[in-house]
Amino acid sequence: MHFELSEEQLMIQKAAHDFAINECLPGVIERDEKQQFPKEQILKLADLGFMGMMVDEKYGGAGLDTVSYVLAMEEISKTDASVSVCMSVNNSLVCWGLEKYGSEEQKQQYLTPLAQGKKDGELYIGAFLLSEPEAGSDATSQHTTAEDKGDYYILNGTKNWITNGNSASVYLVMAQMDVSKGSRGINTFIVEKNTPGITVGAKENKLGIRGSDTHSIMFQDVKVPKANRIGEDGFGFTFAMKTLAGGRIGIAAQALGIASGAYERAVEYSKQRKAFGKEIAQHQAIQFKLADMATRIEAARLLCLRAAWEKDKDIDYTLSSSMAKVYTSETAMWVTTEAVQVHGGYGYVKEYHVERMMRDAKITQIYEGTSEVQRIVIGRSILK
């Protein structure tokens, strides 16, 4: 067993770090306040090859491993989690699923521009449409329907909480064909956003990751070509679960970045701020907080890297990704709250960044499977 990163992994980590400092840090507070989608940053990420990091080069990707992806996600999330969630959804939930389960035609037509993050010089990203108004954790209860009409399908229904909902060009949509078949009656379809019958709802006004683009999407008699179904008939729910297992590694890495970003700011601040005649870092009350933050973050990092390593080695990573996600997201919530505490009153105002990180951390315990869902997956896995 060894813990060293390769030359290439270190290079990716450095590139992501530099990108976060040079491209994401300027304006991050304003984008959060105005709920502004970071389009300029995503286009630059696309130029770096970070929107299709793990996709084979023959489909326009960067051909990197999942460990590199985790390193990049951590670095970018230290500064701007609204940028990194967009990156995570495109990489893990959209590109990975298409590369693994899509047909050659689907890969040529959709995966290649999605992995490049651009088509004809314009932003070209994807979204994953599983959640519904009444189907969040209970994802098998899909109310969106797909009707087989011979050469095409007709989709009707509403999807909720869709990251990249307005900025995406391509949606991966899960829909129920036959309720009596339960999860085996679900299919996943590639749907172009500009298809007639699609309406994008207003942007959600969120607690955190406010720059990211979260919307409801309504489908009314939307015609989808037969060729746009992913995999065999009835494969849609398995597709969603398999894809989410990888997605959870991305969100775990995002939570890791939010935690380590807040921790680094807390360390820096505690070495500058004086109270009772010395830097607050010299007080045991603060030192113990920093020690616990560092220890929990390191444990979270090892869980994330372990899950990524298993995915790269083609070992079943369902358990490790859920463990990484639940532990890292809970660490992020705890660490960011403590980072605000270390900053005192300054932590409660925007210019010190940690209050945003505390707000951003919360969603990592909710999306791509709540902490409760991760515990279901872990519990079932260890007891089977």
Binding stretches for ligand CAA (CB under 6 A): 89, 93, 128, 130-131, 137, 139-140, 162-163, 183-184, 237-238, 241-242, 244-245, 318, 367-369, 373, 376-377
273 vs 375 by CB, closer to ligand CAA? 375
In angstroms, the CA 18 to CA 229 distance is: 39
Please, what is the minimum distance in Å from the beta carbon of residue 20 to ligand CAA?
Answer: 20
Q: Which residues are CB-contacts of 265 (< 8 A; sequence separation ≥ 6)?
A: 339, 343, 352, 353, 354, 357
243, 317 Cβ separation under 8 angstroms: no
Please, what is the minimum distance in Å from the beta carbon of residue 323 to ligand CAA?
Answer: 14
From the list 156, 161, 231, the residue with the least C-alpha distance to 190 is: 231
68 vs 374 by CB, closer to ligand CAA? 374
Task: Give helix then strand counts, H and E, for the chain.
Answer: 13, 11
Residue type, 61: G
Please, what is the minimum distance in Å from the beta carbon of residue 264 to ligand CAA?
Answer: 25
89, 127 Cβ separation under 8 angstroms: yes
Which ranges of 78-224 does DSSP label H, i.e. alpha helix? Answer: 81-88, 96-101, 104-106, 112-116
From the list 151, 142, 228, the residue with the least C-alpha distance to 177 is: 142
In angstroms, the CA 45 to CA 164 distance is: 15
Please, what is the minimum distance in Å from the beta carbon of residue 45 to ligand CAA?
Answer: 17
Q: Which residues are CB-contacts of 151 (< 8 A; sequence separation ≥ 6)?
A: 225, 226
Residue type, 326: V
Please, what is the minimum distance in Å from the beta carbon of residue 232 to ligand CAA?
Answer: 13
Please, what is the minimum distance in Å from the beta carbon of residue 227 to ligand CAA?
Answer: 24
145 vs 183 by CB, closer to ligand CAA? 183
338 vs 360 by CB, closer to ligand CAA? 360
In angstroms, the CA 69 to CA 78 distance is: 14
The catalytic residue positions are: 368
In angstroms, the CA 384 to CA 368 distance is: 23
126, 118 Cβ separation under 8 angstroms: no
131 vs 270 by CB, closer to ligand CAA? 131
Please, what is the minimum distance in Å from the beta carbon of residue 18 to ligand CAA?
Answer: 26
229 vs 265 by CB, closer to ligand CAA? 229
54 vs 130 by CB, closer to ligand CAA? 130
- Report which secondary-structure segment, H or E, holds 222: strand 214-225
